[in-house]
Chain A
Amino acid sequence: MFDRGWTDGLPVVPPTEARVERMLTGTSRSPADLVAVVPPDLVDCTVEKVAINAVMAGCLPEYLPVVLTALEAVCTDDFNMHGVLATTMSVGPVLVVSGPITAEIKMNHGINVLGHGNRANSTIGRAVQLVIRNVGGGAPGGIDRATLGHMGKQGFCFAEDQVGSPWTSLSEDRGFGPDQNTVTAFAGEGPHILMDQKSRSADSLTRMLAQSLLGSVSSRVVMGIDAMLVLSPEHMARYRDAGWDRSRFMEELASHLMVDADTILIGSGGIEEGLPQDFTGMSLPKFRPGGLLVVHAGGPAGLFSAVIGGWVNGPTGSEPVTKEITP
């Protein structure tokens, strides 16, 4: 299968007819139903084709509804999978799963949440990427032109910790109910750790997180690139203790994410990268409104959070997309 160009470089489970039939029991959709038109070749993709690739990725049948929904999300015009592939920036789909289904299919939202070791986390994103490769024709070195890439492009999927969070979830923030199952697709790079082991107040931690977030992707880019902040339980405890809710946190954080444009103009500090002189004297937010997605996840111990930098945002690039998972 590797020789036929069907794999991502790792071994895959041979998609025999029996295995694919068993995979299809995970959804109420018909095998011939159209799921999405898959970029970059814009190919009609059926439930059966997704099931074949899900078998290869190592999915269990109960993961299939998540895979199908995630594929629908990344194949929207808003997400712009063609651009995410073709860009030389090292981004790929980052999938956040929310709702009761995360417990039902035993997804990990705890220790090593952004890493390996959980079957659902490891294979759902991989299945989506195999469909993009095998059905859509988006393979590295072909339409995928990433200069560096990152290991998360093998499949980057994790669960949101809603039960352990005092805040409304990312999914709720994006308009869904707490009991709805959703997938949020975000075009992101690999995670970058944000360390603060000394702050004991919400205010101090917020200032520290903001300082680190100012460097997301490039300290000289403002508003044009989104980010996802993965806030860990021990950091969240500072906000729980202080009685801050999500909106208070976002408001306080935003106040520390204003950038004096003069410090990032072309030529300032002897650096040729930066904003044109037209922005002289302005104060600009690091992220556009809604451009910082915050999700609670991670192990119970450790004063580390993480930022996942994004790609060009908005209608000219990629919009984060959240979809409800249907059986």
Chain B
Amino acid sequence: MTGTSQTGLTVLDPTAEGRPAERELTPRAETLAGLTVGLLDISKPRGNVFLDRLEEHLVKIGAGVERYAKPTFAKPAPVDLRHEIATNCDAVIEALAD
């Protein structure tokens, strides 16, 4: 692929030339009551403090909660973990921390 500048100079494309796949957002739930919400801890200090509070609130409104943790905050969540969350949960909340 090439591009042409305003000066008429033709240059080669330095990019991957791909376009990100456009995906529709999953329909948003009207309420979380009765749904299963995954809480994903990225494994940084005090992420559990935030997620514990969220769990309290979610349980109060009638949501089920499943807790997950990334093996390390420094890398993307493993595919298997993402698949497990997608299979078991209707929604997911990922916690940053510190």
Task: For the complex formed, measure the closest distance between the CB of B41 and the CB atoms of chain A, giving whole angstroms.
Answer: 14
- A251 proximal to B (CB < 8 A): no
> How many positions in chain B have a CB within 8 Å of any CB in the partner chain?
17
- B29 proximal to A (CB < 8 A): no
Main secondary structure of the interface of A (DSSP, over half): mixed
Specify which chain A residues have a CB less than 8 angstroms from the CB of B2 in the assembled complex.
17
| Interface hits, A275-317 → B, CB 8 Å | 311-312, 315-317
| Interface hits, A47-98 → B, CB 8 Å | 48-49, 52-53, 56, 80, 82-83, 87
Complex CA distance for A82 and B2, rounded to whole angstroms:
28
What bracket does the count of chain A residues touching chain B fall in? 20 to 34
Q: How many A-B residue pairs have CB under 8 A?
A: 60
Chain B, Cβ-Cβ closest to A6? B14
Chain B window 1-16, contacts with chain A (Cβ cutoff 8 Å), 1 for yes, 0 for no: 0110100011111111
Chain B, Cβ-Cβ closest to A39? B76
Task: For the complex formed, measure the closest distance between the CB of A135 and the CB atoms of chain B, giving whole angstroms.
Answer: 5
Chain A, Cβ-Cβ closest to B7? A14
Task: For the complex formed, measure the closest distance between the CB of A193 and the CB atoms of chain B, giving whole angstroms.
Answer: 28
| Contact assessment for A83 and B75 in the assembled complex, using a CB-CB cutoff below 8 Å | yes
Specify which chain B residues have a CB less than 8 angstroms from the CB of A311 in the assembled complex.
74
In the complex, 11 of the A-B residue pairs with CB atoms within 8 angstroms, ordered by the A residue number, are A14-B5, A15-B14, A17-B12, A20-B12, A82-B76, A135-B16, A136-B16, A315-B72, A316-B71, A316-B74, A317-B72
- Name B's A-contacting residues (CB within 8 A): 2-3, 5, 9-16, 18, 71-72, 74-76
The 5 closest A-B pairs by CB, nearest first: A316-B72, A83-B74, A43-B16, A134-B14, A317-B74
